[in-house]
Amino acid sequence: MVEVCVNGHIRTVENTTWIKFGRGDKLKRRCKDCRKRKPNGKPSVIALTMQRTTELHEDIEDLIKYGATFEEIVERSGFSGWETMRGSLHRRGRTDLLEKLRLKRV
């Protein structure tokens, strides 16, 4: 029998997590899809942050494509500095952009 959450998502071992519920050691299952949205239907802060980070990485990609200098890319990227931008790109696995930026830096 297929288990379905209140919002209609199919529950499997891969797409559910256990979260703390109430006092003490109580836990309840929660869909990862339900976690992405608040009860009022708006995207969660996590989803908005991920979307904004993706947009910033696309902006960096466009700046590289149009021939901006390294200093201009760091200034216009939306990050506070090179180390922050490098860390964000590294966490997202955008090694292609990191290599292009390293070549521009030299």
Q: Read off the pLDDT of residues 30-60 as tens digits, 9 standing for 90 and up.
A: 887 777 666 666 777 888 888 999 999 999 9
- Counting residues of the chain whose pLDDT is more than 70, the rounded percentage is 93
User: Is 70 found in the same domain as 25?
Assistant: no
User: Is 94 found in the same domain as 51?
Assistant: yes
Q: Is residue 40 part of a domain?
A: no
CB 63 within 8 A of CB 73: yes
User: Is 68 found in the same domain as 27?
Assistant: no
Which residue shows structure tokens 């901006």?
68
Is the predicted pLDDT of residue 75 greater than 80, yes or no? yes
Domain count, the chain: 2
Output the CA–CA distances (angstroms, integers) from residue 82 to 48, 86, 92, 102, 104, in the order listed: 23, 6, 15, 11, 13
Is the predicted pLDDT of residue 22 greater than 90, yes or no? no
- Name the average pLDDT for the chain: 85
Q: What is the pTM of this model?
A: 0.61
Domain span including residue 15: 3-35
Of the pLDDT bands very low, low, confident and very high (cuts 50, 70, 90), residue 89 is very high
User: Is 29 found in the same domain as 51?
Assistant: no
